[in-house]
Structures are given as C-alpha cells and as structure tokens.
Amino acid sequence: MQRQVILASTSRYRRELMNRLHLPFEVQAPEVDETPLEGEAPRALAERLALEKARAVARRFPEAVVIGSDQVADLAGEPLGKPGDHARASAQLRRMRGQTLIFQTAVAVVCQANSFEQRDLAPVRVVFRDLSDAAIERYLVAEQPYDCAGSAKSEGLGIALLEAIDSDDPTALVGLPLIRTARMLRAAGVDLL
C-alpha cells in the first residue's frame, strides 16, 4: 500500500509543479516561521526551511510522506525574500539588474513512520539583464510577481528580464526541483510510475 503524499506548502506554483507527477497528493500549510536566523546564509536558510516545513507537517501526519520546499534569492550572499508589494518588488529588481543571482531552492522529504528524511539543494544561477526603470515598471504592472522570491516569474513574462538561467533541475527556479523531489520520493518508497 502506498503512503499518503503531502505537499507542505501553500504555494500555488509548487502545487502546479506537483501535478506534473500525476501522483495523488494533499496540501497542508506548514505554519513555519520563515524569518532568517542572525547571519544565516541564503543556502542554509532555504535548506533549514524546507526541512522544517516537511517536519512540521510530518508531525501532524506521521504515516505520510511529506514534501517541504523553500527558495531564497541570493544576491551576493544576501537573502532576498518575496517582496509582498509593488514598491519592494521595484526596489528588488532595480538592485538585481545586471547582476547574477543564485536562487537557492531546497527540497526535503520526511516520513516519520519509517524515520525517512532527506533533503537536497538545487541552486539556479540567473543572470538579469540591465533593465531600465521603465521596463521594470511595465513588467511589474503586467505580472505583479509580489509572491515570488526575487520579484520575477521565469515561467511567465519574467523570462524577458533574464540573460541566462543555469540549472540541472529545470523546475527549481519555479520553486520545486522535480528531479530531486522524484528521486527522494522513490527513496521514500513512493512509486511514481
């Protein structure tokens, strides 16, 4: 009998990505404080939060296989979170123009019943174009990416902001590295095919 699979996330982007696996799953809010710890590097923050999210939901559903994920935009070691509004998104994109960022995308899979726990990181190198203020404004009005780390949606018009994307897990930039997720689900005993 296959265990219940739960995505520990309220992100519609992660839910859409999970649907690609054609695997029945439920969604549960992890209710984890996402505040960075003092001096915490973006990579460490993403890894910690992915694992904390999976563990938080696994405590409530110990028989389930739980997936947690987190993404932090890393600008020269500084974590950039979700902007939340137009003014912050505009400020983020102005800082990022002409820069190379690493989107630190972490995923963790936890099942308390069999003491399974794995996590992995799928860093994505993203080069932003040297954008004008007018281009930034037009983009923000068109897409309103206020719920995305780094204020840009590469799966939409945000692709026009970029010079290059370098990743070995193509869905990592959207928020859930499916190659790594599938690998960990198989290791946890979930049959994907």
- Which residues are paired to 101 by β-bridges? 126
Is there a catalytic annotation at residue 169?
A: no
Catalytic residue among 33, 70, 133, 191: 70
Residue 93, sorted as left (phi over 0), alpha (psi -120 to 50) or beta, turns out to be alpha
- And the tokens for 60? 């409530």
Are the beta carbons of 14 and 149 closer than 8 angstroms? no
Q: Which residues are catalytic?
A: 70
